[in-house]
Amino acid sequence: MADKKDVWQGTLALMVLKTLESMGPQHGYGLARRIEQTSGDLLQLNYGTLYPALLKLEQEGYIRSRWGTSENNRKAKFYELTKPGQRQVRRATADWEQTTEILSRFLTPASE
């Protein structure tokens, strides 16, 4: 089995926002598992990284949280996208698409 990779700096916020956009409200553990699953289990998500990122996104107004009950009947904090968060998903997605397009020019051998 291949080693799991750490999440690249600057990508976690977009992964969280995109996950909330596609799946709706999620608790932290559910978000972490879904992000790892979406990566094909190639990423390793550290909770010491996830929760500060969630706090930052909440402080920026892109997500909001509320206490609820998980599927295991445990108290859990659920996170959901806000209207500004929906706009941020679109902006961040466009930025990353442009960045990956630029990088692909460096990674693809030039035609002779």
Residues 36-63 pLDDT 10s: 999 999 888 888 889 999 999 999 999 9
What pLDDT, on the 0 to 100 scale, is given for residue 2?
Answer: 55
CATH number for 12: 1.10.10.10
Total domains, the chain? 1
Domain holding 83, by residue range, is 5-107
What pLDDT, on the 0 to 100 scale, is given for residue 47?
Answer: 81
What pLDDT, on the 0 to 100 scale, is given for residue 44?
Answer: 83
pTM for the full predicted model: 0.85
87 in any annotated domain: yes
23 in any annotated domain: yes
Measure the CA angle with vertex 52, ends 65 and 17; round to 5°: 55
71 in any annotated domain: yes
The answer for residues whose C-beta is within 8 angstroms of residue 32's C-beta and 6 or more apart is 45, 47, 50
